[in-house]
A and B are shown apart, each in its own frame.
Chain A
Amino acid sequence: GQQVMQIPQYQHVQEGEDFTTYCNSSTTLSNIQWYKQRPGGHPVFLIQLVKSGEVKKQKRLTFQFGEAKKNSSLHITATQTTDVGTYFCAGDDYKLSFGAGTTVTVRA
């Protein structure tokens, strides 16, 4: 079945630095979604990518969907303490499969 792999599992970032988290699927996806879960909270939808090669931005967050629709990335610039949390990608094949997440901590 579909598997979605996410790397890295942990990301320790100095405040102000950039980082990227990656998501790879074993199958071609119809779309991919990204979620953020703050510590102690529940996942909250960030964005959905549908088209091959699609790039979307939300302020300091840039989301990209690969040309083959089998991978995606989330790039955060100028990391802030508010970026702390776990970021999940979820691939939509016939059902949403979530990656294991990237847990981000920020050093002030």
Chain B
Amino acid sequence: EAQVTQNPRYLITVTGKKLTVTCSQNMNHEYMSWYRQDPGLGLRQIYYSMNVEVTDKGDVPEGYKVSRKEKRNFPLILESPSPNQTSLYFCASSPSLNTGELFFGEGSRLTVL
């Protein structure tokens, strides 16, 4: 089954404790992206990747890192999480940026205390 898989789905952590949210897609998509969703703000892009080893900042990259060493994986790293990073995070992939349809993962709800 074609899908985007995120882990963990839910996480409560404390300020400063490094964490990684994994994202994996099995559709051989070139384009992958991370979004955060906050009430009233819609989906804001954190980072995106056009292909392996090609990543770029989105609209809200501060406090986050990403890597794209393999085509299928695009982990989101919070080196030192802070409470303002409490949010619902979505990973998404697409065959390429201009071929439409983003496929979203189920989401990861992160709480930073």
Contacts and interface: CB of A to CB of B under 8 A. Distances in A.
Given A88-B43, A100-B42, A43 B104 contact: yes
B44 to A, nearest CB: 7
Nearest to B91: A42
Given A88-B42, A92-B97, A42 B102 contact: no
**Most chain-A Cβ atoms within 10 A of its Cβ — which of B42, B44, B100, B107?**
B42
Interface string A52-91: 0000000000000000000000000000000000001010
Contact of B48 (A44, A90, A95): A95
Nearest to A4: B42
Contacts, number: 57
Given A30-B98, A43-B90, A96 B104 contact: no
Interface string A5-39: 01001000000000000000000001101010000
A44 to B, nearest CB: 7
Contacts of A92: 97-98, 100
B43 A42 contact: no
Interface in B55-111: 58-59, 90, 92, 97-98, 100-107
B33 interface: yes
Interface of B: 33, 35, 40-45, 48, 58-59, 90, 92, 97-98, 100-107
